[in-house]
A and B are shown apart, each in its own frame.
Chain A
Amino acid sequence: MYSIEVKDLTKEFKSYRSREGLSGAIRDLFTREFNIVRAVDGISFNVKKGEMVGYIGENGAGKSTTIKMLTGILKPTSGSIQVNGRDPHKQREAFVRTIGVVFGQRSQLWWDIAVQESFRLLKKVYKVSDEQYQTHMHEVIEILEIEDLLNRPVRKLSLGQRMRCELAAALIHNPPLLFLDEPTIGLDVLVKLKIREFLKELNARYGTTVLLTTHDLTDIEALCQRVVMLDEGKIIYDGELQELRENWGGGKSAAIEFTHRIQLEQLTALTGHLPIRWEQENPLKFRAILESNEMTVSELLACVAPHIEVKDFRIEEVSTEEIVQKIYQKGFTTYA
């Protein structure tokens, strides 16, 4: 059973151009030039119930546009969307009761009044019964540790405090599906960790499906088994995060520092039978690049350590961030 089913989804915008200079601006008064921009270009994907999916891409890749179509804000140019079994834009009011949305850069809460007043109003908007509110929100408030913030006006909260309240506000009606658009933007590490913990807990306890866009790939590493990667409106990767790392991570490497000077030939001779490539940084420091995933680091160490004294040893793993960066720089196909 799918939470989100997207097929051949496309969204086009008219983008107006301004002509240059004063004379251009005067001409713009009468006729305007525009081009059609495809923000989202024929994408298809499904999200299973209870899945946590990271939706990533560079700025302008079409992430926000997709989210806005999935949440019923924007009408697609073509293609079909089924979210929680409904067409978001057609049955908007009934539909949005089944989702929760957090926009990291936009507040759900009323700026000048206490947080709980906002909650109370949203409770009415979403027609949440008192019992449901009591049991469910009590938990949410407890896990997010926002009990003490509830009677403070929103404008007096720090960004991290506000964000936790925003999350709670989006969950008032205990939606089975949660959209998070840049939820951790601008937050410090501790708050980020707390939010991640909470989302995991939410997912485990209620089976909430989560679709998450973020710039911070550590969010995705911590939360999502699956990523959908977008570039220029098209999906360029959709699959396990682990697989992405294995296939495009370029393997592991180990940095080794020896106590005295070593020749590169000595090392290649010692490890010639292993799938290893050596790089030299300076006479003491070398890097061993493991070219097979099957090979373990201990094999490497077993070959080298008995013969040469090792001062320091460090396993280096390519971060997801670097992988993604490489993919965007070199293009997915050439990199693959």
Chain B
Amino acid sequence: MFYGELFFDYLKQYLKTKLAYRLDLLNELISDFISQIVNLVFILVVFQHTNFIKGWSQQEIIFIYGFFLIPFAVFSTFFNFWEFQEKYIIKGEMDRILTRPAHHLFQVVLETMDPESLAGVFTGLIIMGYAGYQLDLEIAWYDPFVFVLLVLSGVFLYGGVYIAIASLGFFIDAKTGISPMIYNIQSYGRYPVDIYNKVIRFVLTWILPFAFVGVYPSAYFLGREDLFVYVWITPVMGIVFFVIGVWLWNLGVKNYRGAGS
């Protein structure tokens, strides 16, 4: 398949570039790891002062965090859109993309891809595995498949949201700087949403549905049957948001006005 081949060619290209800056790679891996640990520290410190948060134990919340890291790592690998507006729209790199015969979104994904983020999958698996072990969770034969499905749904959901945000760059002539701010919000999906009030719970479930990347899918493995409804609509949400994102993107490309004159 054309796009599959292209993916590997861009990956090769990426690796060649990376080898030119080897120290960088290490630097990035370490800094990613630090950010992941920092959030764990927060949870550990808070549970020094209490045993349960709204009925969730420390191990359960750590499990949710571990799960969250996995779709997030895959997402970060492919949807590295933080500087999209700056680089592709304000500086006009989109011109070049549009003169090449492959789907524009796909090209941007490939050009900005960041495979070292995948290391987060391992951190996530370790954290989740450790917490799961402490919780003595049972694993059915089909659970790994459910796990993959839920992770992929989370990736598509995240991808859709960030594609939509990046698309805003096509419509707005000034720098938006919106994505680092959304970045702050996404962390709330990592906590059980029932600690929030209705409005925030609504936002995290339906508007910026980051709860579907953390707490809802984890509820399946934690056996929280009260949340199973949300577990099963996770794939639907993933598809819906991804479609919305791509639709907005296509609309944005139509509206693209190029850099300069």
Measured CB to CB, the residues of B under 8 A from A are 2, 5-6, 9-10, 13, 16-17, 20-21, 92-96, 98-103, 173, 254-258, 260-261
Contacts and interface: CB of A to CB of B under 8 A. Distances in A.
A99 B98 CA distance: 12
B257 A74 contact: yes
Contacts of A75: 254-256
A17 B178 CA distance: 22
Interface of A: 13, 16, 39, 59-60, 62, 64-65, 68, 71-75, 89, 92-94, 96-97, 99, 101, 103, 106, 108, 110, 112-113, 117-118, 120-121, 124-127, 153
Residue among B21, B98, B99, B101 facing the most chain A CB atoms (10 A cut-off): B99
Contacts of B21: 112
Contact of A72 (B13, B98, B255): B98
4 cross-chain pairs, A with B, having the tightest CB-CB distances, nearest first: A73-B98, A101-B99, A97-B101, A112-B17
A39 B258 CA distance: 12
Contacts of A93: 101-103
Contacts of A72: 98-99
Contacts of A68: 95, 258
Contacts of B101: 93-94, 96-97, 125-127
A113 B17 contact: yes
Given A124-B9, A125-B102, A117 B95 contact: no
A65 B261 CA distance: 7
Contact of A153 (B2, B6, B20, B261): B20
Residue among B5, B254, B258 facing the most chain A CB atoms (10 A cut-off): B258
Contacts of A96: 98-101
Contact of B96 (A60, A103, A120, A127): A103
A64 B6 contact: no
A117 B258 contact: no
A68 B95 CA distance: 8
B219 to A, nearest CB: 42
B95 A121 contact: no
A245 B16 CA distance: 52
A112 B16 CA distance: 8
B177 to A, nearest CB: 15
Nearest to A16: B173
A83 to B, nearest CB: 12
